[in-house]
Structure 1
Amino acid sequence: MRILTVGAGAAGGYFGARLAHAGQDVTFLVRPARAAALRARGLRVSGMGEDLRLTPQLVTADELKPAFDLVLLSVKSTALAAATRDLAPAVGPGTAIVPLLNGLAHLDHLADRFGDEAVLGGVAKVVTTLDEHGTIVRMAPPSALLTGERDGRPSERVDAIRAVLAGAGIDTPQVPDIVAAMWHKWVFITALAAASCLARGSVGEFNAVPGGSGLGPAVLAEAAAVSAAAGYPVPDAELAATAGTLTTPGSPLTPSLYRDLIAGYPTEVEHVFGDLTARARALSVPTPLLDLVTLQLRVHQRRVSPTA
């Protein structure tokens, strides 16, 4: 299976590295600056007992040739339009695209460009970041990649992809409804990002101050209400697990969106929050806390990227 990983950042680089280390034919589509860094230092993964060092196959957009069997698309939503243009030569009649972005809006974007049949659903569950040297650091469990046909039908190509992932030691549980799984991941990341951005701190920091322990459950309830109204209620056990994550004393956990905010970078406000709050309004679900964080992040976005 010829695999193209679009992006070699914290998530895409991690899964691509695991696949390449297992002997799969993996090529990373990267920007020139990242290509130069990877050619100089190699692709490195560390943390949680892992220590991988690879010399990756790299390609930039002007060098890309058709066609690949599988495209793992792992970029921030702010780079989605450019990534879509860049990866187009890699997509042939039999190519499967597995996007690993949060939210749902990217599905329509990709289907409009490549056709419904090409686009699978995808969920990445991994806690990784890039350190100052460009090393991918895994910070906590879990490590899983979920995929499936968006209409839920059985699929030989999904079975083949999951077999390849499993052969690389990547947890890839079978899910009956990948779109529901995407909604549930969206609820999780929205609640975590909203709480961290509103409180300007990690889970442990906002839970350590008076009134802070109620913030996580409050934003989780709003996000879960939108998902339920859309027809994708989050299972009770999953809600309880997320609530536990959001109320863990001393937890250093922060989402990448919050880290981008604190660093003064643009964020995925529209893809993660703007789309969800728009759906909430259409479904008549009140989301005052999510509306507030959306407003705050839009102000930040205008400040750091006034032409966006």
Structure 2
Amino acid sequence: MKILVVGAGAVGGYFGAHLVRAGRDVDFLVRPARAALLREHGLSVRDVDGNVETVPVSAVTADQLGSDYDLVIVTVKSYGFDDALKDLSPAVGPRTAVLPFLNGMRHIDTLVERFGADRVHGGVAMVMTRLGERGEIVQVGTLGSLIYGPLGERPVVPLDDVHAALDTGDHTATPASDIRQELWDKWVFLATLGACACLMRGPIGRINSAPGGQEFTSAMFEEAIAVATASGYPPGREARERADAIIANTTATTTTSMYWDLTHGNPVEAEHIIGDLVDRGRALGVPTPLFSLAYTHLRVYEAGRG
């Protein structure tokens, strides 16, 4: 199977390195400057113990793409998705599957509209990594898993083939029978955690330990659950308990990548993770006052970045 990984950042670089190391036929679609660095120095991953492994990789730019890929894995940040979609489109032939590992649901709607449901799989990535100052992938926690499944009834690339490609033994790889539910479950959790951390400027444990903190995080969680339920994807008991174990924690230092970006002056995924949830709630008649506040807060931050 010939694979194109779109992006070589914290998610794409980490899992893409695993694919290369396992002998998969992989190209990375990146910008010209990043391509030059990868060709010269390879892709480096630093694990939680500080050990660095560098793997030689094949880097391509948009003008070099052909439609001979079997699987296109999209790993960019949501604010780069529209540009990435333009760049990757020539790589998607009639028998190509597109598998995005982004948060939220807006990108799923866009890809299905563009390529048809049978050429799109949904994907959930759980990983604790960041992009280092020298372009290396820095692992900041041991979590590393992928969940994926087709969105159409007759996928052009069967789930078994996708699983065989992604199951390298370096991370957990799990085929899903209902990937839309998995996507919603993660979105509810991530949006709640990210909105709480960004509004309160702190990790979840510190928020819950403050006066009114647990009432605040619980109310935020219930807003997200209400939108998911109205959309037809209420979280099951296991998913809710798993999320609540973190969201209600009084000692955890857990935050999200959106909080990290906010506190380091970077662009944030406000539209995709928070704004879209607010929009869907409004369309369904579900009030989301706390998420609306978080969205306004993040838009003010973005405006301040210029």
- Identify whether the pair has TM-score above 0.5, normalized to the shorter chain: yes
The number of equivalent residue pairs is 305
Find runs of 4+ consecutive structure 1 residues off by over 4 angstroms. 48-51, 151-156
2:182 paired residue number: 181
Partner of 1:244: 245
Over 3 Å counting, the alpha-carbon distance change for 1:68 and 1:20 in structure 2 is same
Give the CA deviation at 1:93.
1.2
The CA distance in 1 between the partners of 2:136 and 2:193, in whole Å, is 24
Q: TM-score, normalised by structure 2?
A: 0.92
- Give the equivalent residue in structure 2 for 1:275: 276
Contact 2:3 2:72 (8 Å CA) reproduced: yes
**CA distances 1:5-24 after superposition (whole Å, capped 9, x unpaired):** 00000011111111111010
Deviations 1:169-215 (A, max 9, x none): 33222322111111111101101101101101122332343333333
- Judged with a 3 Å threshold, the aligned counterparts in structure 2 of structure 1 residues 61 and 168 are, in CA distance, closer, same or farther, namely farther
Residues 165 and 171, structure 1, Cα contact 8 Å, conserved in 2: no
Separation in structure 1 between the aligned mates of residue 86 and residue 156 of structure 2, nearest angstrom: 27
| Alpha carbons of structure 1 residues 41 and 215: separation in structure 2 relative to 1, 3 Å | farther
Q: Secondary structure at the match of 2:95?
A: strand
Q: Could you tell me the TM-score, scaled by structure 1's length?
A: 0.92
Which residue does the alignment assign to 2:24?
24
CA contact (8 A) 1:149 1:155 kept: no
Q: Secondary structure at the match of 2:255?
A: coil
Question: 1:200: which partner in 2?
Answer: 201
Contact 2:6-2:12 within 8 A present in 1 as well = yes
Give the share of equivalent positions with the same residue, in percent. 45
Is the 1:19–1:168 contact (alpha carbons within 8 Å) kept by the matching residues of 2?
no
1:48-102 C-alpha deviation (Å, 9 max, x unpaired)? 4675320111011122233200010011111111101111221111100001111
Q: Distance in 1 between matches of 2:4 and 2:124?
A: 17
* 3-state SS of 1:8 partner: coil
Name 1:6's counterpart in structure 2: 6
Name the counterpart of 1:58. Answer: 59
2:259 counterpart SS class: helix
Whether the 8 Å CA contact 1:152–1:176 is kept in 2: the answer is no
Tell me which residue corresponds to 1:111: 112
| Residues 112/221 of structure 1: CA separation in 2 closer, same or farther (3 Å cut) | same
Question: How many Å apart are 1:122 and its aligned residue?
Answer: 1.3
1:284 aligns with 2:285: yes
- Which runs of 5 or more structure 1 residues have no equivalent in the other structure? none
Q: Contact between 1:122 and 1:147, CA under 8 Å: does it hold in 2? A: yes
Check whether the contact 2:119–2:156 (CA below 8 A) recurs between aligned residues: no
| Aligned CA distance change for structure 1 residues 199 and 168 (closer, same or farther; 3 Å) | same
Name the Cα RMSD after superposition. 2.0
Q: Which moved more, 1:245-254 or 1:24-33?
A: 245-254
8 Å CA contact 2:281–2:287 kept in 1: the answer is yes
| 3-state DSSP of counterpart to 1:93 | coil
Alignment match, 2:254: 253
Confirm whether residue 92 of structure 1 aligns to residue 75 of structure 2.
Answer: no
CA distance in 1 between partners of 2:257 and 2:204 (Å):
13
Quick check: 8-17 or 245-254, which moved more? 245-254
Match of 1:160, as an amino acid? Answer: D
Q: Letter of the aligned partner of 1:125 in structure 2?
A: M
Secondary structure, counterpart of 2:158 in structure 1: helix
Deviates more, 1:228-237 or 1:21-30: 228-237
Q: 2:38 matched to which residue of 1?
A: 38
Q: Structure 2: 5+ residue runs without aligned partners?
A: none
Deviates more, 1:35-44 or 1:87-96: 35-44
Q: Deviations over 1:244-266 (max 9, x none)?
A: 21233443322111122222222
Cα displacement string for residues 132-167 of structure 1 (whole angstroms, at most 9, x for unaligned residues)? 222212222432111112146788621111122123
Q: Quick check: 1:6–1:30 contact (8 Å CA) kept in 2?
A: yes
Q: 1:153 to 1:179 in 2, by over 3 A?
A: farther
- The one-letter code of the counterpart of 2:129 is T
Counting only pairs closer than 5 Å after superposition, residues 118-137 of structure 1 correspond to structure 2 as 118-137=119-138
After TM superposition, the structure 1 stretch with the greater mean CA deviation from structure 2, 179-188 or 281-290, is: 281-290
Opposite residue 109 of structure 1, the aligned amino acid is T
Q: Which whole-Å CA distance do the structure 1 matches of 2:216 and 2:176 have between them?
A: 30
Change (3 A) 1:25 1:142: same
Q: Bigger CA drift: 26-35 or 91-100?
A: 26-35
